[in-house]
Amino acid sequence: MTSFGERVRAAMAARGQLCVGIDPHVHLLAEWGLDASAAGVREFGLRTVEAAAGLVAVVKPQVSFFERYGSAGFAALEDVLAAARETGLLVIADAKRGDIGTTMDAYAEAWLTPGSPLEADALTVSPFLGVGALDGTFELAGRHGKGLFVLAATSNPEALPLQRSRHADGVTVSADIMREVSARNARSTPEGQWGSFGLVIGATVDWTDAGLRPFSPIAPILGPGFGHQGAEPRELGARFGDLQEAVIASESRSILAAGPDRLAARISERALLYRGD
């Protein structure tokens, strides 16, 4: 079984670093001529998967826009997840789940167990209850060759007071999360490979201000904030330094606003900007 970290590495080497966010906002559904319903988000998701297949390495469905429609929305999401994985796209379920003990384990089982209806390749998780509270989830993910992305430093201004707070030893909350996640990669990653436990670091985050430093072993960084939100592909090096090759650059609105008919062309155009070749 190839680990998630190595699968992401190979997929990005082949198709570049662009990740297409699948965010069926109500206003986008309207623009696409779809209903604000479970059927609408299903259609939106399937069309986006179809357009992205073969062009990018990773897609990232935003779970809240499916959860909005309850169990019917989740059934739609299951179809979208399955379709994406069948076409060979890696799927990050952006759910930001976070709890403790067996409660957290149940979330990990839902999203990361092979054969589960909501099976994805990786899940975003929240460390508010402590990175250590996610240890059952790290264990489960590793066992199944799945990945995690732990929220570490986000770009929204409301997050700064909490994420820049300092531990008793002076380290920022964001830096401590990075340290804790890196320690878990160090314990579980063979020499020369990428770790499977990634971090969410906003594309426009100031690393110095956040107290962040380059880490090893390399592990994928999910970077929202590209495209519409202001960061551009040519800035990858300036923003992420030596870790730039590990950045999964997520764009949503800048792509989805093209509408269903121009979607594949837009993805193709944006994807080129995030390719090394």
Tell me: does residue 231 bind a second copy (CB under 8 A).
no
Give the pair of three-digit tokens for residue 43. Answer: 């259609």
Tell me: does residue 130 bind a second copy (CB under 8 A).
yes
Residue owning tokens 């070749």: 277
| Selected binder of a second copy within 88, 101, 190, 230 (CB under 8 A) | 101
Own/partner contacts of 77-80, CB < 8 Å, gap of 24 or more, are 77/41, 77/45, 77/118, 78/117, 78/118, 79/42, 79/45, 79/46, 80/22, 80/42, 80/45, 80/46, 80/49
What phi and psi values does residue 214 have, to the nearest 5 degrees? Answer: -55, 145
Question: Rounded CA gap, 75 and 162, in Å?
Answer: 35
Tell me: does residue 100 bind a second copy (CB under 8 A).
yes
Span of 53-61, 157-165, 184-192, 215-223 interacting with a second copy by CB under 8 A = 157-165
Question: Rounded CA gap, 18 and 254, in Å?
Answer: 12
Instruction: Indicate which residue of 68, 85, 96, 253 is catalytic.
Output: 96
| Selected binder of a second copy within 77, 120, 122, 210 (CB under 8 A) | 77
Q: Which is nearer to a second copy, 67 or 139 (CB)?
A: 67
Tell me: does residue 43 bind a second copy (CB under 8 A).
no
Q: Is 96 a catalytic residue?
A: yes
Tell me: does residue 187 bind a second copy (CB under 8 A).
no
Span of 156-164, 188-196, 238-246, 264-272 interacting with a second copy by CB under 8 A = 156-164
53 to 72: interface string for a second copy, x by CB under 8 A: ---------x-xx-xxxxxx
- The DSSP element (H or E) to which 268 belongs, if any, is helix 263-273
Q: How far is CA 70 from CA 87, 180, 192, 260, in A?
A: 26, 34, 43, 25
The amino acid at 229: Q
- The CA dihedral of 104, 107, 108, 111, to the nearest 10 degrees, is -170
Span of 44-52, 99-107, 183-191, 234-242 interacting with a second copy by CB under 8 A = 99-107
Q: Which is nearer to a second copy, 34 or 271 (CB)?
A: 34
- With the C-alpha atoms ordered 77, 82, 84, 90, is the resulting torsion angle positive or negative? positive
Tell me: does residue 78 bind a second copy (CB under 8 A).
yes
Q: Which is nearer to a second copy, 39 or 129 (CB)?
A: 129
Q: Which is nearer to a second copy, 58 or 99 (CB)?
A: 99
Give the pair of three-digit tokens for residue 106. Answer: 């149940």
Catalytic residue annotation: 96
Interface contacts to a second copy, rule CB under 8 A: 23, 25, 62, 64-65, 67-75, 77-78, 96-104, 106-107, 109-110, 116-118, 126-133, 151, 154, 156-168, 173, 176-177
